[in-house]
Amino acid sequence: MKRFWFVFLLTSRVAMSQTPDSVKTTSIPPKSNFKFGIVSSISFSLAAVSTPHLRSYFRANEIKPAPFFGQFAHWNGGFRYKRLKFISQAGRGLDISFMEGRKDDKRVAQQDHADYTGFMLGYDVLNARNRRLYLNVGTGAITYKYSVYRRTPQIVDWQDLTQYSQPGAIPSLTLTNQYLDVNLELTQREKRKRSAEYMLRVGYRRGLRPQAWESDAFLLQGAPTDRISQFYLQIGYNFSLNFDRVADL
């Protein structure tokens, strides 16, 4: 009799102690598969910037160059359809130059402004249950602006400041490049209709063609030419509103 019950339990499809629902329910939730999403993000990056000809000009004229590492704040917005993503993007440099001691008499280059605007198209080349890995390609325009001033212990009366002219100072040097941007973006997969996910992006941004440096104060001749390039690491959050069907909008 015991042998009969043992064979009966082995050959039965469902253990007698289990409920019918227990064999139909999996402990791992299924992969979310929203077809359409509206995406926005805020992020920060550390960028290594290359303008070799301008830096060479600074060194040749004994001007201390500005640091080639800089920080950016970024804002992105766009939409995703299945595995494709279209994003418009903008960034603003956050570099802050701290004044050093005034005992030495030397010229220093300072970054006054940096920003970019553009757009990019991405495709998630790795589409896992919890993560997406996008390959993004984009284009746009990037601008950098520098000034050169001399640190000196000289005292100038405030009322005479507009009449004072400091030898060796350069009020503005500006360069704008059209760029190509290629990057990899690792992000969490959206889980809900309203979702927030971390984002990590590593990329390279490169000017399409060399442009001559310009000045807001002068018409320059024979100015050095550069193609701005950046290697950057970007970290932030994506915020998305997701829909199963486009008709849900």
How many residues make up the chain in this entry?
249
For residues 195 and 40, is the Cβ–Cβ distance under 8 A? no
Please list, in sequence order, all residues whose beta carbon lies within 8 angstroms of the beta carbon of residue 161, skipping any fewer than 6 positions away.
none
Q: Would the pLDDT of 23 be above 70?
A: no
Q: What's the rounded Cα separation, in Å, for the pair 116 and 212?
A: 18
Residue 13 CB burial class (10 angstroms; 0-12, 13-18, ≥19)? exposed
- Greater confidence, 171 or 154? 171
Instruction: Over range 143-171, report the average pLDDT.
Output: 83
- Pairwise CA distance, residues 188 & 186, whole Å: 7
Q: Which domains does the chain have, with CATH numbers?
A: 34-97+104-153+167-248 (2.40.160.20)
Classify 62 in phi/psi space as left (phi over 0), alpha (psi -120 to 50) or beta: left
| Runs of H (alpha helix) within 12-146 | 52-60
Q: What is the pLDDT of residues 35-75, one digit of tens each?
A: 888 999 999 999 999 999 999 999 999 888 888 888 999 99
In this prediction the pTM is 0.79
Q: Which of 14-28, 143-157, 165-179 has the lowest mean pLDDT?
A: 14-28
Predicted confidence (pLDDT) at residue 193 exceeds the cutoff of 60 = yes
Signed CA dihedral, 151, 155, 158, 164: sign only: negative
pLDDT band at 87 (very low <50, low <70, confident <90, very high): very high
Predicted confidence (pLDDT) per residue in 90-138, tens digit: 999 986 555 555 556 688 888 888 999 999 999 999 888 888 999 999 9
The residue with greater pLDDT, 5 or 115, is 115
